[in-house]
């Protein structure tokens, strides 16, 4: 009798495992974009920046579009060791995974291509990659204070990624590290387990199950020409933050809190520039919905926002107003990306991170402006 029960239980468990594997395979085949493979122990907690990438780390990240190897230096940046940096003018480029170069080989990341563009433009300078995945302006302020003496830049360029930095500036205190993986505390401050964080990052089927259990809508799959990627959706009574930012009129309390956090962080950057006598400029980096606006309309419809109520230029206008309010030098790359002959080539297919072509366009567009800032403060 016991053997029969055990056999049946094994058959049931085996069937469940097979069903889950089949579901995972189907989801990865038809909706692969949101499954990343991150190496374990990449992140650790930090007292002022909430988290950081572990200095000296070496690993590989992969996704449906790419697989790339990376090494971090003694400060935790995808950069040469500080002792290997040449003498001469030095630019420190700060930002999130766009600057880090998610999906892009080391020799084609934005900082390297900017350094090349500056040399070709007659104003050679070393450009230090200070990008950290997930960082917003709030993290960047602390990062600047922690490492400015070690990097010793003549100019700091802070990127404001319109895809998520405004939201990340509000959510920064909620980010936690479990088992070397980066996660976000749930509503009410409950921290997820290391297993939960790992499963969310690696298993598409687990993502779907968690969203059902938590009562959130599943991600909307956006199709625009040959681009296919997924946008996580908030609870049914909310729209994604960039959709709300693109609507006209007053924003809701949640969005206003994001704008306030961003405004405060920019004010802190302006204060650091004044106190240290260090020039700090801000580059507005467009999200894919800024240069492929049909994507914004598609996500807005899924969020039940009527056609005609959203305009991506409103996101840019809000960001520009925040930067201008603190008198920081600013370069807006949105018009340049919008005018690109092939906007689809600027990001990956299943991922809205910039491709190597997107990095090239950003770097070459920044170079004249960066050169002017260096010359002005020479």
pLDDT over 60 at 226, yes or no: no
pLDDT the model gives residue 133: 92
Q: Phi then psi for 139, rounded to 5 degrees?
A: -65, -40
Residue found under tokens 């994001």: 258
pLDDT in tens, 14-73: 666 566 666 555 555 555 555 667 787 899 999 999 999 999 999 998 887 889 999 999
Q: pTM of the entire structure?
A: 0.85
Residue found under tokens 């997820």: 192
| All domains of the chain in start order, with CATH | 45-376 (3.40.50.1110)
β strands within the chain, DSSP E = 43-46, 50-53, 58-63, 66-71, 90-95, 126-131, 155-161, 175-178, 181-184, 220-224, 227-231, 280-285, 330-332
For residues 127 and 251, is the Cβ–Cβ distance under 8 A?
Answer: no
Q: Phi then psi for 236, rounded to 5 degrees?
A: -60, -25
- Give me the percent of the chain exceeding a pLDDT of 70: 76
For residues 280 and 158, is the Cβ–Cβ distance under 8 A?
Answer: yes
pLDDT in tens, 232-269: 545 545 678 888 999 988 999 999 999 999 999 999 99
Cα 215 off chain centre by:
25
Residue 231 binned pLDDT confidence (cut-offs 50, 70, 90): very low
pLDDT over 90 at 301, yes or no: no
Nearest alpha-carbon partner for 374 in 210, 154, 208:
154
pLDDT the model gives residue 329: 98
pLDDT greater at residue 7 or residue 190 = 7
């Amino acid at each position: 009798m016991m053997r029969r029960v055990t056999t049946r239980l094994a058959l049931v468990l085996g069937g469940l495992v097979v069903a889950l594997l089949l579901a995972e395979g189907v989801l990865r085949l038809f909706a692969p974009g949101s499954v990343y493979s991150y190496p374990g122990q990449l992140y650790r907690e930090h007292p002022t920046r909430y988290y950081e990438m572990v200095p000296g780390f070496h690993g590989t990240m992969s996704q449906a579009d790419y697989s790339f190897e990376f090494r971090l230096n003694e400060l935790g940046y995808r950069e040469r060791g500080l002792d290997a940096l040449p003498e001469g003018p030095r630019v420190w480029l700060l930002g999130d995974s766009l600057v880090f170069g998610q999906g892009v080989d080391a020799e084609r990341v934005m900082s390297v291509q900017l350094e090349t563009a500056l040399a070709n433009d007659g104003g050679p300078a070393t450009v230090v990659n200070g990008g950290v995945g997930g960082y917003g302006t709030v993290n960047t302020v602390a990062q600047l204070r922690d490492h400015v003496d070690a990097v010793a830049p003549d100019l700091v360029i802070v990127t404001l990624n319109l895809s998520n930095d405004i939201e990340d500036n509000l959510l920064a205190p909620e980010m936690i590290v479990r088992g070397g993986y980066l996660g976000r505390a749930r509503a009410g401050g409950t921290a997820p387990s290391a297993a939960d964080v790992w499963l969310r990052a690696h298993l598409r089927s687990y993502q779907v199950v968690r969203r059902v259990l938590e009562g959130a809508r599943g991600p909307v799959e956006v199709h625009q020409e040959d681009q296919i990627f997924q946008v996580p959706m908030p609870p049914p009574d909310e729209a994604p933050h960039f959709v709300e930012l693109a609507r006209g009129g007053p924003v809701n309390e949640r969005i206003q809190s994001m704008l306030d956090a961003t405004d405060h962080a920019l004010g802190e950057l302006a204060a650091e520039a004044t106190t240290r006598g260090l020039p700090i400029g801000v580059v507005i980096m467009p999200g894919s919905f800024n240069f492929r606006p049909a994507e914004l309309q598609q996500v807005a419809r899924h969020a039940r926002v009527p056609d005609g109520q959203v305009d991506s230029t409103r996101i840019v206008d809000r960001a520009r107003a925040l930067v201008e309010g603190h008198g920081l030098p600013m370069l807006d790359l949105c018009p340049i990306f919008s005018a690109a002959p092939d906007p689809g080539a600027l990001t990956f297919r299943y991922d809205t991170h910039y491709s190597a072509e997107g990095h090239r366009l950003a770097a070459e567009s920044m170079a004249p402006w960066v050169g002017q800032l260096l010359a002005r403060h020479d």
